[in-house]
Amino acid sequence: MQMEKNAVQAYWNKRPCGFAEVESDAGPETGFARHARLRYAREPEILEFARFERWRDCRVLEIGVGIGADYTRFLRAGARATGVDLSSQSIRLAFQNALAQGLAPQLSNADAESLPFAEAGFDLVYSWGVLHHSPDLQRTIREVHRVLKPGAECRIMLYNRRSLLALQCYLRYGLGRLHPFAPLSRLISDHIESPGTQALTKKEVHALFRMFSSVQVHSVPTVYDLRLGRRRFAPHALLRFVPRSLGWFLLIRAVK
């Protein structure tokens, strides 16, 4: 398990999420701003899901801050936000991002499977596309539950195994490489992002979050479901023709 976690950490230290899209010839502030514009244009679902402005004066924990696009948005909205990431390189860049905007970040290099926080301390735990990289996802969800105040909620995005993107993965790495009987979960683990990436069904999500008092799970079609190339995507307008159930993102809201 520790070797798997080390591999995940090494992957994201080498490739902090989003940093490849920051212009190398621009200053940090300009580059981070460009990344944020691209992020929310490509994944507009974040804005409605996170509802940054709702959390003013609330204690927010973001797990997996990447280079800080969402984290700094929580801070600008007035949240008392804390952020963690397994990648020390990501934390370094998120610090730069926050400081460039005149913000005072509270960031630390930490493992989501063993959060360094007391019980019942947060009004919101937020994580966008991160926890499915944890080797022990169930332990991570238990930690999310532990640090939430009673009646507080988490908002988490995980990947959907029954999606068009997962089908593309099977066609390319299963059928395309003459492994038609390879388990889809293994193909995703081996070929999508860091080693061991997980994608779940809605039934599996409900099982993972069974300790919460209420759980809502919605799948959302994304530009990644209609990818035309490594960095080429079909227009957002075409997403209306994709059944919602086949979207790559599972948006989860769960109340403790």
Q: Model confidence over 77-109: pLDDT tens digits?
A: 999 999 999 999 999 999 999 999 999 999 999
Question: Where do we find the tokens 């490489």?
Answer: 177
97, amino acid identity: N
Q: Which residues contact 42 (CB under 8 A, 6 or more apart)?
A: 223, 233
- Looking only at the bridges linking them, the beta strands covering 214-220 and 249-255 are antiparallel
Rounded to whole angstroms, the Cα distance separating 7 from 70 reads 25
Q: For residue 234, what pLDDT band results from cuts at 50, 70 and 90?
A: confident
- pLDDT (tens digit per residue) in 238-249: 888 889 999 999
Residue 19 has pLDDT above 70, yes or no: yes
Sign of CA dihedral 88, 89, 93, 99: positive
Q: How far is CA 23 from the centre of its chain?
A: 22
Query: Residue 25: its pLDDT value, please?
Result: 54
Domains, the chain: 2-159+199-255 (3.40.50.150)
pLDDT for residue 232: 75
pLDDT digits (tens, 9 = 90+) for 111-142: 999 999 999 999 999 999 999 999 999 999 99
Q: Is 233 a residue whose pLDDT tops 90?
A: no
Q: Among candidates 191, 164, 166, which has minimal Cα distance to 177?
A: 191
| pLDDT of residue 68 exceeding 60 | yes
3-state secondary structure of 114: coil
Per-residue pLDDT band at 230 (split at 50, 70, 90):
low
Q: pTM for the whole thing?
A: 0.95
pLDDT of residue 29: 53
Per-residue confidence band for 26, with pLDDT thresholds at 50, 70 and 90: low
Query: pLDDT-based confidence at 28, cuts 50/70/90?
Result: low
